[in-house]
């Protein structure tokens, strides 16, 4: 995830331009602009599509994709992100999501979910954690604070 210019957390992305031949072309262009040239080492494809959500603006639909990266690809993206075209403008930095809950039942993902997210990014994060391209099996009960509860079992399997 990334910290956006407005102080909210979200995923890289943006609008499809007239030169983009498809949603995926537009997304891959936006990934290079927001994450840097290391994002050119992989391509988000139609098979990475997860869901769509109607946005708050006119004619805005957010299409959500999830792509599994190798550790080497992730580290390359993190290392080069500060040199990306949009770093310091649209993107203030990358954020790793803690996909665990501490023994106190609050720290980790439950606390992370208390942050301010853009649009439906919180729901997309949970969707990716539940149904995304995870390699190893992972099970975590996620509970929120102050009466908020996200009863999410993160169960992944080989894909």
Task: Using the structure block, give the residue that is written with the tokens 């990934």.
Answer: 31
Three-state DSSP state, 118:
coil
Tell me what the mean pLDDT of segment 24-51 comes to.
94
Q: How far apart are CA 110 and CA 124, in angstroms?
A: 15
Superfamily of domain 1-133: Nucleoside Triphosphate Pyrophosphohydrolase (3.90.79.10)
Which pLDDT band holds residue 159 (cuts at 50, 70, 90)? very low
Ranges of each domain in the chain: 1-133
42-80 pLDDT per residue, tens: 999 999 999 998 877 777 888 999 988 888 999 999 999
**DSSP-based three-state secondary structure for 109:** helix
Least confident of 23-27, 38-42, 117-121, 129-133: 129-133
Go through 9-29 and write b for each residue having 16 or more CB atoms within 10 A of its CB, e for each that does not: bbbbbeebeeeeeebbebbbb
State residue 53's pLDDT score. Answer: 86
CB contact set of 65 (below 8 Å; sequence gap of 6+):
24, 27, 44, 48, 49, 50
CA-to-CA separations, 15 to 43, 55, 139, 141, 145, in angstroms, rounded = 17, 12, 35, 35, 35
For residue 100, how many C-alpha atoms fall within 13 Å in the half-sphere facing its CB? 4
Evaluate if residue 156 carries a pLDDT over 60: no
Q: What is the pLDDT of residues 74-116, one digit of tens each?
A: 999 999 999 999 999 999 999 999 988 888 888 999 999 999 9
Across 27-53, average pLDDT = 93
> Is the pLDDT score of 144 beyond 90?
no
């Amino acid at each position: 995830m990334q910290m956006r210019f407005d102080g909210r957390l979200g995923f890289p992305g943006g609008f499809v331009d007239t030169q983009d031949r498809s949603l995926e072309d537009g997304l891959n262009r936006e990934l290079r602009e927001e994450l840097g040239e290391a994002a050119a080492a992989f391509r988000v494809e139609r098979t990475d599509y997860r869901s769509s959500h109607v946005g708050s603006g006119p004619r805005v639909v957010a299409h959500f994709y999830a792509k599994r990266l190798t550790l080497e690809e992730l580290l390359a993206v993190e290392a080069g992100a500060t040199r990306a075209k949009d770093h310091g403008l649209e993107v203030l930095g990358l954020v790793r999501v803690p996909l665990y809950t501490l023994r106190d039942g609050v720290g980790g993902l439950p606390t992370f979910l208390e942050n301010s997210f853009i649009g439906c990014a919180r729901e997309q994060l949970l969707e990716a954690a539940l149904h995304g391209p995870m390699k190893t099996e992972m099970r975590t009960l996620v509970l929120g604070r102050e009466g908020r509860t996200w009863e999410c079992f993160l169960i992944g399997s080989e894909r």
